[in-house]
Structure 1
């Protein structure tokens, strides 16, 4: 392994470069999934076996604390809480609304979690859920609709 600061050879797993004293952070290093060699996170290929790193190996994908994840999570949880309140009221005329809201909120929650795997697909599902909510929502579900629509649009159109 080479130091990213001075390119001197370092011992695998070392905390500091023996030549220049540069701190070798763990986030600057990754293990090759093919041979297990410790490599720079910015490298395109493994120095030992030549394995080509793809983006999914360089990083863990979408950060779980990204804006779209948080918006989708907040919107989904608001929808679930509102749906449970509606369903627990016992009124027959609001039962249908509560069931629809609960179902769509659960789909939105699953899609939000899926954003960490595939932003475009998860975002597209969130947009569809937001459009369905727009057609079937009451004033309480509108807050959920806004959060879910923002999450979906950011996931699909943000680079």
Structure 2
């Protein structure tokens, strides 16, 4: 890989150029699925073997500072806290609701984390979790439902 600042040859995965000290951003690099060469993520072709990159090899995830990620995270954490409060109350009639809410909140949290890898799949799972919450919980999961639904819809339909 070459340094974008001074064009000197650098070691694959290096954080800084050994010649000029320029910081090399490794998050903008991908490995060629054909030959394994480290290439810029914006490249259309591999510099070593000429393999044409398709969109599926490039990341389709969201940033951890995005609205989708933050809403999904807030909704999941609220759901887990509410579920633990319900379960610790000891009332048998709310135990079923607490178990469902805790399970769905954990699934929503995992899906939110997965949004960083693939926004469409993670968003679709969040929408399904929101629909299940809508059908199975009453007042307990409503706030979580709103956050998770927003996160899922934004992840799927936002460009």
TM-score, with length taken from structure 2:
0.73
Q: CA offsets per residue over residues 68-100 of structure 1, 9 Å max, x none? A: 122111111110110000100111121111111
Higher mean alpha-carbon deviation, 120-129 vs 59-68, is at: 59-68
Q: CA offsets per residue over residues 36-74 of structure 1, 9 Å max, x none? A: 556444321123310222335444733233221221111
- Say how many residue pairs are matched: 159
Q: How far is the alpha carbon of 1:134 from its aligned partner? A: 1.6
Q: How far is the alpha carbon of 1:21 from its aligned partner? A: 13
Q: CA offsets per residue over residues 140-159 of structure 1, 9 Å max, x none? A: 32110000000111111112
Larger of the two Rg values belongs to structure? 1
Alpha-carbon distance change, 128 to 33 in structure 1, aligned in 2, over 3 angstroms: closer
Q: Which residue of 2 aligns with 1:67?
A: 67
Q: Which runs of 5+ in 2 are unaligned?
A: none
* Kept in 1: contact 2:61–2:115 (CA 8 A): no
CA RMSD of aligned residues (A): 3.5
Q: CA offsets per residue over residues 6-53 of structure 1, 9 Å max, x none? A: 999999999999999999766666554544556444321123310222
Alpha-carbon distance change, 60 to 152 in structure 1, aligned in 2, over 3 angstroms: closer
> How far apart in 2 are the matches of 1:79 and 1:42?
38
Higher mean alpha-carbon deviation, 26-35 vs 15-24, is at: 15-24
Alpha-carbon distance change, 106 to 49 in structure 1, aligned in 2, over 3 angstroms: same
